[in-house]
Structure 1
């Protein structure tokens, strides 16, 4: 019992999701998005694993890891969302809620790091082409990818553990479709300014830090490309970066809006999170990978048996 108000501590949560939307429409949209995301990203992973030429290119080593990360990222949210849509009112346990919380933020943080790593790869390829094979060898690319995974999954252990130590007195309903810090902090027994500040600072560091690194990398790329003597050379250099920049802008833009203030919630916040957590992994391979000529040829060779 909580001595302050005589209520029992919360051990389960009910995720409200989007009650105002049609159930059939929600089920269909989530199922199609999830299936499409799995199919497109797993195809990229398979192509990189099966094509020896791609395995020797740092860009595709990072891209294969990034595609697998997108599979992990969307799997932290959509299966639970579909379960809640088909079983409204069925609670999620305290431990399952915080497991989802941890893996969602860990995969999201890892994605920030991978986008920065791919920006570094493009910077070295365009600004230092002669030294690129040494500076970004396949071995270094795998080491960089492993570092992104390790740092991403270690980064949020402390903040998530800190939130999990709060007392939750009820109500046990979370106005969201996933276990997110905003509704969790709002459900705590007492105001938690210190926890909110720590979580906001931790999140802002990885989001803004990697965003600044990426923007700096591409700023240097633009400076070098503008100094190229021919228009054709500029067009070729820019073509390798435009799709990456599109992904970066959409991912970090929605992420910054959503997580600058972790206590923000409500309908607008949920829609922004839906775009950030579900739509982005579905869109990324279409923008970043499947427009790439070499990737499309690799997919044709590995999936369709072409030569």
Structure 2
């Protein structure tokens, strides 16, 4: 009975990231600005892909639109709560809210891993098998692949949330982190967490390692195909279509591997690394894809030009 009662915590308190008190206002404004720009930037990508007929029927840009939705969602479940930590007073998160935050973060994060893999496969087909690409990667197939990524991600998120919160929690309720994530929450459990740690390591390790390996294999084949292109301009255009994806994959996977695929420790480096998949990468993705993708930039110009023409009429 005592163990059952100990699991009935009503709330958790997120400690947040350590910072000098004098920087409270600056950090509040900084992360609020990051959140607003993340939403606006990804919304702009989403609207551009949807509005431009040359983009929204192509699988690559269907994937890009879905990526924007995921980035907006991840940012929304993490960054506002992080920003609140830079205001005065204690702001607890309800027990159910902590469960929801952990679930949606891992649901969306794993879906993003699968989506990056699909984007790499799409580039592989487009560059290595260009004549067969329209048949192998149709809009219908890309929609089915995206649906499969969402389903697999939801299963992964549910598994992690159920395993984490099946444990009893008692005593201290202060989570030494800026959001409810598995390693930080497990430190508060009043039970042996070795099974959870093993399953987390294996489950996340399989998702990260398998997706990253498939992406790496795709780009090995892509690099070989590009090097066989005879003209320098052709090689440059082929590399430009892949450069943005390689950049965001690197920025996303390296911090995730650092956080989850090493012995469990609590350190400022872990929190700094966690800022990348939760706040920095969703903020950077629209910039990377608009600055390094000529087709997106041209679509933006067409959309802006069309809007100006309508306003002049």
1:149 corresponds to 2:150: yes
RMSD, aligned α-carbons: 2.0
In 2, Cα distance between equivalents of 1:8 and 1:199: 21
Structural mapping, 1:245-256, within 5 Å? 245-256=246-257
CA-CA distance at 1:100 after TM superposition:
0.3
Q: Which segments of 5 or more consecutive residues in structure 2 lack a partner in the other structure? A: none
In 2, Cα distance between equivalents of 1:127 and 1:75: 37
Could you tell me whether the CA contact under 8 Å between 1:34 and 1:78 is conserved in 2? yes
TM-score normalised according to structure 2 size? 0.92
Closer, same or farther in 2 for the Cα pair 1:102/1:253, shift >3 Å? same
TM-score normalised according to structure 1 size? 0.93
Could you say which residue in structure 1 is the equivalent of 2:13? Answer: 14
CA-CA distance at 1:88 after TM superposition:
3.4
Structural mapping, 1:94-243, within 5 Å? 94-243=95-244
Could you tell me whether the CA contact under 8 Å between 2:11 and 2:94 is conserved in 1? yes
In 2, Cα distance between equivalents of 1:16 and 1:151: 31
In 1, Cα distance between equivalents of 2:146 and 2:263: 28
Q: Which segments of 5 or more consecutive residues in structure 1 lack a partner in the other structure? A: none
Paired residues in the alignment total 306
In 2, Cα distance between equivalents of 1:19 and 1:256: 22
Could you tell me whether the CA contact under 8 Å between 2:16 and 2:176 is conserved in 1? yes
CA-CA distance at 1:303 after TM superposition:
4.7
Once the two structures are superposed, residues 160-198 of structure 1 have per-residue CA deviations (whole angstroms, 9 ceiling, x without a partner) of: 101111111221111111001111111111331011111
Could you tell me whether the CA contact under 8 Å between 1:300 and 1:306 is conserved in 2? no
Closer, same or farther in 2 for the Cα pair 1:230/1:85, shift >3 Å? same
Could you say which residue in structure 1 is the equivalent of 2:77? Answer: 76
CA-CA distance at 1:9 after TM superposition:
5.0
Could you tell me whether the CA contact under 8 Å between 2:176 and 2:184 is conserved in 1? yes
Could you tell me whether the CA contact under 8 Å between 2:106 and 2:160 is conserved in 1? no
